[in-house]
Structure 1
Amino acid sequence: MTRPDLPANVHALLDAVVAISTDLDPHSVLDRIVAAACQITGARYGALGVVASEGGLSDFITHGLTEAEHRAIGPLPRGLGLLGHIIDHPEPLRLRVLKDHPQSAGFPQHHPVMTSFLGVPVRVRGTVFGNLYLTDKQGADEFTDSDEMLVEALATAAGSVIDNARNYARNERRRQWLAASEQILAALQPPVDLEEALSQVAIVARRVTTAAVAAVVQRSDGRHSVVAADGPQVTAVAELVESLQEQIDEVETNPSHPVVTRSVPGGGHCMIVPLRSHLAAGGVLLVYLDRERGALERDESELLLSFADQAGLALDRAQAMADREELMLVADRDRIARDLHDLVIQRLFATGLQLQGLRRRVGDGDVRSRIDHAVADLDVTIRDIRSTIFELQHAFESSLRADVRGVVKEYVPVLGFSPLVRSSGPVDTAVPQSVAEQLLAVLRESLSNVARHAEANAAVVEVEATEDSVWLRVTDNGRGLPGERHESGLRNVRRRARDLGGEVRLLPEEPHGTRLEWRVPFGEG
């Protein structure tokens, strides 16, 4: 098709409108608009300043300056002087000599000299989005009425293009946040490693916001600590959290204002949103955006808040599933304990009574001795089962019995076998905490000695609480007591007993092995 016979600058305007209309990347659109304005008017330099919601300029896109000139000029303008005048008075402004305007603040060092000037506002849906600034019309002393009219036409078309690009970018962000929420929900499917899940929350939040760092912060011992973080500036996040203690408190205590934006040292912005959860440990999600990235737009802040709410719900669901599994385990343990008590122990007890009744009818002394031994073994078995029942019913409670079993489990890899653990009497209720701590230390020393010196393949750990004292007995089937021994560890065992008014005995075990007995009275502890 033959192009209409129109002036070259009008053709340039039409080509520019077509060109910018095909682009959906917001920043690329702004670049094209500035370049098109320069081409239409013959300006040597051009810029588009994006007006910030709080005033001034949030972005400044230039055309005509080299990278070397950019570096020499330094930081880009923030909307003061003549640029600020056009922000405050959004009407076209044309000047023959830029510096003659009363509000012209001059140029920074190393800035190119500029003379003629044309400024035109760019409106999106009736609101000023930014301003086009053009300087140094080539081949003429100043910009013309025709230049102003063409740039205004371009600015009108640019407003629609910018609006379309922003809508596209907004929809794309929503899609990314939706995908991020789905990713977190998938990561928090049972079974869940909560530490890894919180790490995923930080990683996804930083990736979608293109932030310098994102972190999950939780309260511990009255202070906030970072439990997960991601980003190139992650090493500085602890210092950042320390400086924002009050703001984090504000987010935690004021759910009606869940998002707080603060300027932070070094520039940039910090977004803090709560991880609102009722079952799991919540905290806040902190996102730091450096000066180059700029603050999140309002819809992005809302999306970040929605993402944090989704993450909080997912954490609650994961915690609820973990609690449900724990309750099922407790119920199962309770059922096993009842079965052991109601069936196994009762049958063993009945068997013992039958053997004792049979003993009276037996005249052979050897047989009677064997029956007595069998009854004694049944008594020991019943005691062991009762100890197991107690452990099953109190598996999730802190107790001396549980601590003793925990210490024994620690030493299983070192020993090469699992010692038998027995307990009797009011071990958890009668033994003072100070004595319990010393008992556990003696148990560790005793098991270490068995592992290092005894060459045993079996051991028994017994804890017995009486009315006025507690006994710890550690028996092994090793090689027995050596004729000469160096009591470095045993010296500590004796000292602990002596400090509490107790005693220690080291006895041989038949047919071979060693038994350590450590007794401490309660009254002396």
Structure 2
Amino acid sequence: MVEGAHGGIGAGASRLLDAVQLISAGLDLRGSLHRLVEASCALTDARYGVIGLLDADGVVNDFVIHGVDAETAGRIASLPTCEGVLGVLVEDPKPLRLVDVGDHARSMGFPPNHPPMSSFLGVPVLVDDKVYGNLYLTEKAGGAQFTAEDESLLQVLAEIAGSVIANARTHQASERRQRWLEAGVAMSEELQNTAELPDALQAVARHLRQVSGSATVAVVADLEGTHGVVALDDGSVHPLLADLDKVLEVATPVLIEAEANGRTLALPRIENTDGFVVPLNSKLVPGHVLLVLTDGVDPVAGELAPVLLTAFADQAALALDRTAALAERQELLLIADRDRIARDLHDSVIQRLFATALQLQGLRRIVVLDEVRSRLDDAVAELNTTIRDIRSTIFELRHDDGSSLKSDVRALAKEYVPVLGFTPFVRIRGPLDSGVSSEVADHLMATLREALSNVARHAEADACIVEVEVGQERLLLRISDNGRGIDGQISESGLRNVRRRAVEHGGTFRIGSEEPHGTLLEWQIPVR
């Protein structure tokens, strides 16, 4: 069949079979490419060989080189590019044989310290009827020229290599899918023991970054109309993390589209950084997407990236739904336990205290000494105060559904733990739940979110205190950190809205340095 398709092979058949045996020695894709270039040089007596690999857009993005040692390669001013003669096969994928590569009209010469090369032979390598790359050979042994037989032999080898590469790619894809499947299982197993949503989101980001080899994976959520990072795993010092606002600004249109359509989308390149937006299609934890950033070269795996990322995200969504259901079940158990405690306090403890108070009041009637009567009165008053406190506790136990402003403040501080890297200390004084209007409460939460975001982005702190004080007329929010403080003029940007909220409601806003180091933000407005 080989001789019928490619005449004139003759005595080269034995060398061709040796070459085929060499390139078929394993299923490792990179190893197969190295063996192909080595076998091509042995088959045609070429000193140097290289295969240029094309990406999905038909642009050469990688080379596998044979015949140039590391020391020589280090002295060459630049590695091969697909301009000049090498670009001819990219534009027109047909065999090209030259007596002297330097005489071709497209020749651009060689960079300094490049080995001398004259004779040239190039053929395309097709995989699944598409050009996968181009194989280039130079410098036939003894100063001879490449022959028509060399060209025929190399064409046959390239044709067989296409099948070998296709098998290697299939094997590589299978191994990759297996690795991603195992990562998904490991993530699901970890989330089985995780009841808190922030911890679960952090685990999803960590497992995805590890299996994908990405530089950074962030979980982004819709926070009151704006997108913010709620979990982050960064395996390297990614330059874009210094300006998450810029990343989210560029990514926001893609985030909205991915959420709306429920499918994985590629991000536009940001400063030599590629990425993907992957929606988490969770039923119980809606509004979350995965932001995957890579360093230039995509380690997620090219054409398979959307498929692998989507499958992982779907598995994560199921695990998150289970985590949310578990958290809800624990909340229901907690409510039931509170009901039981409240019932016991009312039916047992209060009744006993009330009976004791009645006994003391009855005893007072038969006591003669005024001092004893006074002490009995004090004891009865203390018992009545205790009964009122217990009734207040019972009310809180039966009505605390987690929706109070106090709990909202603490929950928001906890939400920023993955981004800050520490847990803010929250101190609340005064009747926050009863003494603040709903409008003021909304402004408080928005201001607190913006303040914590600024601490996360700019402060470089490892501690932060959130203080909320409610007086008869005014609400004060004070946030201090131990970070690097404020250098020079303050760029307010997001803080402009914080100042506007205070001024429009007759309040004040101040931000400045905290002694001995750090930043202090104070925001106060009328409570009604």
Q: Look up the match of 1:98.
A: 101
Q: Look up the match of 2:173.
A: 170
Alpha-carbon distance in structure 2 between the residues aligned to 1:37 and 1:301 = 35
Q: Look up the match of 1:376.
A: 381
TM-score w.r.t. length of structure 1? 0.68
Is the CA contact (8 Å cut-off) linking 1:16 and 1:36 kept in structure 2? yes
Alpha-carbon distance in structure 2 between the residues aligned to 1:377 and 1:402 = 34
Is the CA contact (8 Å cut-off) linking 2:97 and 2:121 kept in structure 1? yes
Alpha-carbon distance in structure 1 between the residues aligned to 2:97 and 2:148 = 9
| CA distance 1:247–1:156, change in 2 (3 Å) | same
Q: State the Cα distance separating 1:240 from its structure 2 match.
A: 6.5
Secondary structure in 2 matching 1:103? coil
Is the CA contact (8 Å cut-off) linking 1:248 and 1:272 kept in structure 2? no
Secondary structure in 1 matching 2:63? strand
Alpha-carbon distance in structure 2 between the residues aligned to 1:268 and 1:11 = 48
Alpha-carbon distance in structure 2 between the residues aligned to 1:170 and 1:80 = 31
Q: State the Cα distance separating 1:307 from its structure 2 match.
A: 1.0
* Equivalent residue for 2:323, pick from 307, 318, 325: 318
Alpha-carbon distance in structure 1 between the residues aligned to 2:158 and 2:230 = 47
Q: Look up the match of 2:344.
A: 339
| CA distance 1:428–1:69, change in 2 (3 Å) | closer
Aligned pairs for 1:509-524 within 5 A: none
Alpha-carbon distance in structure 1 between the residues aligned to 2:244 and 2:75 = 31
Secondary structure in 2 matching 1:65? coil
* Equivalent residue for 1:254, pick from 238, 255, 258: 258
Q: State the Cα distance separating 1:336 from its structure 2 match.
A: 2.1
| CA distance 1:321–1:115, change in 2 (3 Å) | same
Secondary structure in 1 matching 2:231? strand
Secondary structure in 1 matching 2:176? helix
| CA distance 1:93–1:355, change in 2 (3 Å) | same
* Equivalent residue for 1:79, pick from 82, 90, 96: 82
Q: Look up the match of 1:137.
A: 140
Q: State the Cα distance separating 1:356 from its structure 2 match.
A: 4.5
Q: Look up the match of 1:29.
A: 32
| CA distance 1:107–1:226, change in 2 (3 Å) | farther
Q: Look up the match of 1:42.
A: 45
Residue-by-residue CA offset, 1:263-309 (whole Å, 9 max, x unaligned): 332x3532332334343475433333334556732223310221123
| CA distance 1:210–1:430, change in 2 (3 Å) | closer
Is the CA contact (8 Å cut-off) linking 2:196 and 2:323 kept in structure 1? no
Q: Look up the match of 1:153.
A: 156
Alpha-carbon distance in structure 1 between the residues aligned to 2:199 and 2:407 = 32
Verify: 1:122 aligned to 2:128, yes or no: no
Alpha-carbon distance in structure 2 between the residues aligned to 1:227 and 1:88 = 45
Identical positions, percent = 45
Verify: 1:230 aligned to 2:238, yes or no: no
Alpha-carbon distance in structure 2 between the residues aligned to 1:335 and 1:249 = 50
| CA distance 1:55–1:76, change in 2 (3 Å) | farther
Q: State the Cα distance separating 1:148 from its structure 2 match.
A: 1.0
Alpha-carbon distance in structure 1 between the residues aligned to 2:299 and 2:122 = 25
Residue-by-residue CA offset, 1:1-48 (whole Å, 9 max, x unaligned): xxxxx9874333212211221211101110110010011101121111
Residue-by-residue CA offset, 1:244-268 (whole Å, 9 max, x unaligned): 5222441244343522143332x35
Q: Look up the match of 2:182.
A: 179
Verify: 1:386 aligned to 2:386, yes or no: no
Alpha-carbon distance in structure 1 between the residues aligned to 2:41 and 2:348 = 94
Alpha-carbon distance in structure 2 between the residues aligned to 1:287 and 1:91 = 39
| CA distance 1:429–1:219, change in 2 (3 Å) | closer
The code of the aligned residue for 1:247 comes to: A
Alpha-carbon distance in structure 1 between the residues aligned to 2:154 and 2:408 = 81
Secondary structure in 1 matching 2:58? coil
Aligned pairs for 1:195-206 within 5 A: 195-206=198-209
Residue-by-residue CA offset, 1:124-154 (whole Å, 9 max, x unaligned): 2222211111112122442111111111111
Residue-by-residue CA offset, 1:193-225 (whole Å, 9 max, x unaligned): 555544433333233223344344445573544
| CA distance 1:164–1:55, change in 2 (3 Å) | same
Secondary structure in 1 matching 2:51? strand
Is the CA contact (8 Å cut-off) linking 2:51 and 2:133 kept in structure 1? yes
Secondary structure in 2 matching 1:262? coil
Alpha-carbon distance in structure 1 between the residues aligned to 2:381 and 2:273 = 77
**Structure with bigger RCO (C-alpha 8 Å, 6+ apart):** 2
Is the CA contact (8 Å cut-off) linking 1:190 and 1:321 kept in structure 2? no
Q: Look up the match of 1:10.
A: 13
Alpha-carbon distance in structure 1 between the residues aligned to 2:301 and 2:403 = 47
Alpha-carbon distance in structure 2 between the residues aligned to 1:80 and 1:295 = 28
| CA distance 1:143–1:399, change in 2 (3 Å) | closer
Q: Look up the match of 2:91.
A: 88
Secondary structure in 1 matching 2:192? coil
Alpha-carbon distance in structure 1 between the residues aligned to 2:199 and 2:403 = 26
Q: State the Cα distance separating 1:116 from its structure 2 match.
A: 1.6
Alpha-carbon distance in structure 2 between the residues aligned to 1:184 and 1:94 = 54
Secondary structure in 2 matching 1:188? helix
Gaps of 5+ in 2: 1-8, 410-429, 439-470, 474-525
Is the CA contact (8 Å cut-off) linking 2:264 and 2:276 kept in structure 1? no
Alpha-carbon distance in structure 2 between the residues aligned to 1:250 and 1:303 = 19
Residue-by-residue CA offset, 1:140-177 (whole Å, 9 max, x unaligned): 44211111111111112211111111111101001000
Q: State the Cα distance separating 1:92 from its structure 2 match.
A: 1.5
Q: Look up the match of 1:296.
A: 301
Alpha-carbon distance in structure 2 between the residues aligned to 1:233 and 1:152 = 46
Verify: 1:264 aligned to 2:270, yes or no: yes
Gaps of 5+ in 1: 1-5, 404-422, 434-464, 470-522
The code of the aligned residue for 1:27 comes to: R
TM-score w.r.t. length of structure 2? 0.67
* Equivalent residue for 1:286, pick from 291, 314, 320: 291
Q: How many residues align?
A: 412
Q: Look up the match of 2:193.
A: 190
| CA distance 1:30–1:432, change in 2 (3 Å) | closer
The code of the aligned residue for 2:123 comes to: V
| CA distance 1:244–1:377, change in 2 (3 Å) | closer
| CA distance 1:174–1:431, change in 2 (3 Å) | closer
Is the CA contact (8 Å cut-off) linking 2:275 and 2:293 kept in structure 1? yes
Alpha-carbon distance in structure 1 between the residues aligned to 2:105 and 2:125 = 23
